Every structure is written in C-alpha cells, then in structure tokens.
Amino acid sequence: MTTKETPKACPAEEQPSVCTAPPASADPAASAPKTSRRDFLKAGGMLSMSTLMGTAALMTQSDDAHAAAEWAEHFQKNYRLMTDAEKAEARARLERRYSQEYGKQVTVDTTGPQPGVLMGYALNIRKCIGCRRCVHACVAENNQSRGTKPGEKIEWIQVLRMERGKFEQGKMDHGYPEGLGIQVGGNAYTPAGQVLEGQYHYTPEAVPEQDATYMPIACMQCEKPPCVKVCPVRTTYREADGPVVIDYNWCIGCRMCMGACPYWARRINLTSPVLPKEEMNPVTHYLGNRPRMRGVVEKCHWCLQRTRHGRYPACVEVCPVGARKFGNLLDPESEVSKILERKNVFRLKAELNTFPKFFYFYD
Amino acid sequence: MKKLAIYTLAAALLGSTLYAVSAAEKAAEPAQAAAPAEAAKEPPVCFESRKGASEVTQKEVKPGLPNVKCSPTTGAALWYGDPYDGTVPMGKMPGLEKLPAGHAVVKPRSEKLALMPMCGTACHNGVGPNANPPTLPKDKRAKPNPTMEAMVPDLANLQHGRGRIWCMDCHHTTKRNMLVDHFGDPISFDQPQLLCGKCHGDKLRDWRDGIHGKRIGEFTSTGKKRWFTCTECHNPHNVQDGARNRGFAQLQPEPPPQLPKGMKDAKHEKLHPIPH
C-alpha cells in the first residue's frame, strides 16, 4: 500500500539548506538567501506531502482502528483490481476495525467464487404464506440498519400480498371502454391470476389469508444485470458463481443502479446505519454482509458469507413452509436443477431479458 | 370572586387526581420492567416451523453464538447458528444411496411428544377385555374418549383424507408408540415420511429430492443437511387447518416494513382499481 511507505521527510528547519539552490548573483545585496517562487512551491509541496504521508503512516499504525481503516480505504483499489496481498491487508484492517467497533471478534471473509458452482434460487409461489420470516432472518444475518426513525430500517426482501383473480364466464364479454362496444378481450382490465401490484404493509391476524397470494421479491441476481450496466464507477458486478455484488467502498451513492433495477431490489442507506453491538453478526464477507457505511447502495447477495462455504442462505433456512430452495445450477442432482427439470417455472419480468437466476415455480 | 374560588378548587382537585394517577403509573412501571427481566433469565424457546410442533431452546453453541435466534414478535425461529443442533442420523431411505452416511440428519420428535411414552403403558398396555386379541370398532370410528379428545380435538370427525381414514390407518394396533406401514410393521415417530409416503407418494418423491419441504445446513447435493420430516410442518390430525385449506396452519406474520418517509399509513397501497 502506498500509505505504508515512509516518505523521505524534509524537516522544516532544514528547508533552506537542502531544498533551495545557493544564490548565483555576486551582488552583495542579492547574496542573501533568496528563494524563487518555484523553489518555494517545491518546498511547500514537499513539506505538505511529507506531513500527509507522515500522518498516513501514523494513522495506519494508530490505536484507533476505525480511523486507520478509514484512512487506508481512501487509497485502496476497486476490490476486483486488488492483488491477493492487498485483499488480505484490507481484510485484516477491517477485521481490526469492526472488532474494536462492535466489541467482538469479527471475521471478514474474502473467499472467492468456487469452481463448478453457479448458484441458483427457486421459490414455490403456491407455498409461500406471507409470514415475512425470511425478511427478518435476512436482517438478522446481513447486518442491515434497524433503526426506528424513517429511513433507518432497511430490508432487502419484500413480500408482496396480491389479490387472487379468476376467469369467469360472466365476464367473458366485458370490454373497455364500457358502452362503446369495443372488445378488448375477456377480463382484459381485471387481474386474472397474478399482477404485480399489491400490498407490502399488510398486517392480518394470521397468514395465509383466504383470498391472497404472496410474492416475495429480492435481488434476482440477473445474468444480464441492468444495475451493473449503468454503474458509473463499476462498483457493482456479477461474480463468477452468480451473485451480483457491490464493493461498498467504491460506491458513490448515485443510485443509478436503483433506478435501473426492475425488481426494486436495491436499497440505499441515507442515514448512519443503526446496528446494535449485540445484534451484529460477526461472520461477514467483504462483498456481503460486512457493516456498510452511510450513503452506499446495498442489496441481497445470497448470503455470500454462508453460500461460499456451502451453507444455505438465511432466508432458505427459516422459511417455515420450505418454499425457498437454493442450489448449484451446474449440479444435476441439486434441488434447483431438479425443480427446473420437473416443475412449472417462470422468471419475473422475463420480457426484460435480464435472465434472473431466481426462479419462481409451482406444482 | 366566588366563581374564581370554585375554579381554583376544581383545578386543585384535578391536579391532585392527576398526580395520584401518575404516581400509581410510576409505581406500576418498575413492576412491569422487572417482569421481562425475570423472563429474560430463562432461555427463550422458539417454535421452528409451525406452532406446537418442534420447539428449540436457545443456548450458546460457541461463546457468543446462539444455536437459534427467536423472533421477538411471534416467537418463531429466525436464524440458525447451528443447524445440526440436537439431530440424529435419519436412517435408511430408498433413493438416497448416493448420499454419504450421516449427511441426512433429523431432529428426533419422539422425545418431544410428552405423552407418547405413556401410550403403550398406561392405557394401551395389552391388558383389558378387548386387548387380546385386539378388537377394533367395526365401524372404524373412534369412540368418544375424553383423554384422546383432549389431545386430538374433533377426533370423531377426523378430516385427514376428507374423513376417510381413522386412527389405526396410521397408528400401530398393538404398539401405540409407533406408526404403521402397509405390512403392519411398526414405523418410528422419527420417520413419519415412511408412513405419509404410503398415500402421498408424489410428495415423498419431491421431499426426497429436496423440492418439497424444508432443509437446513449445506446446500450442495451431497452436503450435510437437517431434513424436516412431514409432521414438523404439517399437523396430521388437522391437515386442512387454516382459512386457505392448504395443509399448513396459519401463523402470525412478522411486522411489516417501515413506511415510506412522510407516509402515516399504508392506504396508498391500493388494491386493483377495478373490482373483480
């Protein structure tokens, strides 16, 4: 790292002798040491540089892990361009900082994509009962901000409650506009089956309700992600094993990706994250659930800290009805491969050609 | 002047009443605060899939790492620190020959069924007028019996299979702490899939392949997983529970997301504008 190099300091007292040229003029009036503008700027520049570097060296070795990490982060590369040594350094720095900040031993994983793994997700749309346990499990696992003031609570999964529509004989001739006799097809303006409009804030006594269907939505981990296409700083990208990830340090918070995402999957933390020490999950991944800073975009990453080590994502594990399935698409024996082979599968907004690796199915 | 005196008196009375009320509230507050503190000392117990089926007691598996986190709202299991806590190998299951030994584990349910050890000893102990050989009701209907009805309400009108099966189609005739297969051989309560698969073969196949039901642990096809068995999610005595009649009991949902900034309620979330 550049910050670790100890610069050749040019101490302030020795400035004239070392850093300025001797007088060239024979004129006694002019023989007094005289600095040109160039020399002055040069000296000043070196002085300020030395101060800066000295501070950097001090900061990286200071006891305040937070300050040291923050300083070093200003000079670090995009995660994809880091060498293994630089990744290890960034990891050690963050582990030190988070451990100090949250008062427990925090690990920051940097495990990369595993060979032969392409993660896929499947969700049984008929089984989902809309209990929102996945939403809260995700928050518990992924260190989202969980404050109570507006904008402080962030959830990556949304569960949409939708009305159930049906085809009816009596509506076959209904057209629009009424009375003009223009036939636009039976039921054309009433929902038949599922439409993507509904309620997120439903609070019934018990779920599932009689006339409702529930549709959980999170990041679809597209094969052609629109969010990656629009990112001006290339901080978000697709990993080789499937998930679309964000290098939070390079995110400038422009929210272009949020606008581009057709699945409303991205969130921005505009307030300082509220993450109580006792609720913080200490097992983190650099591209996954490590505590985010203010003003960066975040989203579901299929629990990289778990799935890179073979564990199911948190939402899969808590789903009480087993509607959520996760597996390796390259393994014909995996759950998701069997679902794709055997069940009726659809992808959300398939017409947008984003090719999600998140499949809804029903049986 | 007289009016003023009356008003003053009224104000004083009101003030004293208010003071008394607030003092009573203040006195009550510490009592309320003390109650949760006492409750917090006992480890929380959360239910896993449905209420009344499998429960798990919170404990530390490593320093600072709980085996499970419970939802403060509904009491449901929200997060697993150790998915294999308290599990045993599932045993042989046809079609799972490729799976390495010990990679399919289940949580034994027979330990959780508090009354089960008593079934074969207290009442169905092979002693009594109808015991040897066992005589069963000819109409194959459960007789009114307060003990059994306390455990299984609606026993006489059991709605499993739309009322077409009765107790002894699932429970062993003589070994009452066992289930029964098609050959009349006993099946452990820890392997209800062998019983349920008798009729629900398609579901058994899906369950075996991981499509139906729930598993936790490692996602790779040969990874170690805890398999949730049929009765951990479904109540066999009341399978059509819930207003939706869909085989899974209704649950209380977790709290909704935060309202958008500036919104006081969720009335902006309209249903479809055209009624249908």
DSSP letter string, A174-233: --SSTTTT----TTTTS--S--S--BSS---SSBS-TTEEEEEE----BSS-HHHHH-TT
Q: Do residues B243 and A209 lie in contact, with contact meaning Cβ atoms separated by under 8 Å?
A: yes
Task: Show residues of chain A in contact with B257, CB under 8 Å.
Answer: 135, 153, 155, 158, 200-201
Q: Could you give the CA distance from residue A19 to residue B139 in angstroms, rounded to a whole number?
A: 110
Cβ pair A151:B276 closer than 8 A = no
Cβ pair B78:A140 closer than 8 A = yes
What is the structure's pLDDT at A60? 53
Cβ pair B257:A141 closer than 8 A = no
Q: Could you give the CA distance from residue A92 to residue A108 in angstroms, rounded to a whole number?
A: 8
User: pLDDT per residue over A307-350, tens digit each?
Assistant: 999 999 999 999 999 999 999 999 999 999 999 999 999 999 99
Is residue A177 over pLDDT 70?
A: no
Cβ pair B253:A202 closer than 8 A = yes
Within 10 angstroms of residue A180's Cβ, the number of other Cβ atoms is 8
Split at pLDDT 50, 70, 90, the class of B33 is very low
| Residue labelled with tokens 């700027």 | A41
Q: A282 at the B interface (CB within 8 A)?
A: yes
In angstroms, the separation between the Cα of residue A149 and the nearest Cα of chain B is: 9
Task: Show residues of chain A in contact with B262, CB under 8 Å.
Answer: 150
Chain A / chain B CB contacts < 8 angstroms: 181
Q: B221 at the A interface (CB within 8 A)?
A: yes
Split at pLDDT 50, 70, 90, the class of A45 is low
Q: Could you give the CA distance from residue B36 to residue B33 in angstroms, rounded to a whole number?
A: 6
Spell out a b/e string for B161-190, using b for 16 or more CB atoms within 10 Å of the CB, else e: eeeeebbebbbbeebbbbbbeeeeebbebb
Cβ pair B78:A136 closer than 8 A = yes
Question: Which amino acid would we find at residue A86?
Answer: E
What is the structure's pLDDT at B210? 92
Cβ pair A200:B244 closer than 8 A = no
Cβ pair B79:A342 closer than 8 A = no
Share of chain A above pLDDT 90, in %: 63
Query: Residue B251 gets which letter from DSSP?
Result: B
Token readout for A321 is 């009805």
Is residue B93 over pLDDT 50?
A: yes
User: pLDDT per residue over A224-249, tens digit each?
Assistant: 999 999 999 999 999 999 999 999 99
User: pLDDT per residue over A124-163, tens digit each?
Assistant: 999 999 999 999 999 999 999 999 988 899 999 999 998 8
Q: Which residue of B has its CA nearest to A312?
A: B219
Cβ pair B215:A312 closer than 8 A = yes
Q: Do residues B231 and B250 lie in contact, with contact meaning Cβ atoms separated by under 8 Å?
A: no
Q: A328 at the B interface (CB within 8 A)?
A: yes
Among B247, B240, B232, which Cα is nearest to B192's? Answer: B232
Q: Which residue of A has its CA nearest to B250?
A: A207
Counted residue by residue, chain A has a size of 363
Q: Which one of B74, B210, B260 has the shortest CB-CB distance to A335?
A: B210
Q: Which one of B48, B215, B220 has the shortest CB-CB distance to A310?
A: B220
Angle at A32 between CA A29 and CA A37, to 5 degrees: 105
Q: Which one of B64, B78, B211 has the shortest CB-CB distance to A325?
A: B211
In angstroms, the separation between the Cα of residue B168 and the nearest Cα of chain A is: 28
Q: Identify from B79, B209, B219, B270 which residue to disrupt to test chain A contact, counting A C-beta atoms within 10 A and taking the largest count.
A: B219
Cβ pair A190:B258 closer than 8 A = no
pTM comes to 0.79
What is the structure's pLDDT at A210? 83
What angle in degrees, to the nearest 10, is found between the helix axes of A65-73 and A84-102?
150
Q: B212 at the A interface (CB within 8 A)?
A: yes
